Amino acid sequence: MIEVYPKIFLMKGLCNNYYVDGKIKILIDAGFDFKEKVDILILTHIHPDHVFFAKKIQERTNCKIFIGQDDENIDEFLFYCPSWKGKEIEKFKIDRVLKKNDEINIGQYDFQVLQLPGHTLGSIGLYEKKHEILFSGDTIFENGLIGRTDFIHSSEELMQKTLKKLKKLKIKHLFSGHGTIK
């Protein structure tokens, strides 16, 4: 684990995964077989590289799994994508569907849920206004690159609207789903 900001750690795996070590311990995305204590696993979107280890982490830690409101249909997702690189994606239980402006307070950080449709219809991000932090999933990456919109359940039109919304935010620390973190 590499500390990229106070109490925020990066683990590289199938995607960038982030562990936020607060009074409530949050893991953002499950592209890494994380073995530490987790209270909440937040999935930024429902692509295999971000959910692959969700079931294992949930079983091991008894964590709650949160996901964006338009990505909550696990059965449909597994129908279209039952495996990743030849390995079965195990079905996991969703404990909470996150909606726009939901808040997750873990002590040092108070995250606001942003709906960021485009890469998937239910893509979400977590924004921390005080520290100007954005966990963007696969919506936007370092150097202004954006997530693909040529998948099933993605939309170029929605991505453009999302990007306009993100331009209005003050973001000093961008923690994306892939690539390097500065």
CA distance 4 to 182: 8
The residue range of the domain holding 53 is: 2-176
Checking if the pLDDT of 165 tops 90, the result is yes
Checking if the pLDDT of 182 tops 70, the result is no
Return the higher-pLDDT residue of 81 and 18.
18
Cβ–Cβ < 8 Å for 97, 69: yes
Cβ–Cβ < 8 Å for 173, 136: no
The total number of structural domains in the chain stands at: 1
Instruction: Write down the pLDDT at residue 138.
Output: 94
Question: Is residue 31 one of the residues assigned to a domain?
Answer: yes
Q: How many CB atoms lie within 10 A of CB 79?
A: 9
CA neighbor of 21 nearest in space, from 101, 106, 135: 106
Checking if the pLDDT of 76 tops 90, the result is no
CA neighbor of 20 nearest in space, from 48, 46, 41: 41
Structure confidence by residue, pLDDT tens digits, 121-160: 999 999 999 999 999 999 998 888 889 888 878 899 999 9
Question: Is residue 182 one of the residues assigned to a domain?
Answer: no
Residue with tokens 């990229």: 4
Cβ neighbours for 76, distance < 8 A, ≥ 6 positions apart: none
Checking if the pLDDT of 50 tops 80, the result is yes
Average pLDDT over residues 95-124: 94
Question: Is residue 181 one of the residues assigned to a domain?
Answer: no
Q: Which two tokens stand for residue 45?
A: 């979107």
Comparing 88-92, 136-140, 163-167, the range with the smallest average pLDDT is 88-92
Q: Which two tokens stand for residue 107?
A: 């002590």
Look at the alpha carbons of 123, 129, 130, 131 in this order and tell me if their dihedral is positive or negative: positive
Checking if the pLDDT of 72 tops 90, the result is no
Q: Which two tokens stand for residue 19?
A: 């562990």
Q: Which two tokens stand for residue 73?
A: 């249909």
Which CATH number is 130's domain given? 3.60.15.10
Question: Is residue 148 one of the residues assigned to a domain?
Answer: yes
User: What one-letter code names the amino acid at 121?
Assistant: L
pLDDT band at 181 (very low <50, low <70, confident <90, very high): confident
pTM of the model: 0.93
pLDDT band at 174 (very low <50, low <70, confident <90, very high): very high
What is the greatest pairwise CA distance in the chain? 42
Residue with tokens 């979107």: 45
Question: Is residue 47 one of the residues assigned to a domain?
Answer: yes
Average pLDDT, the chain: 92
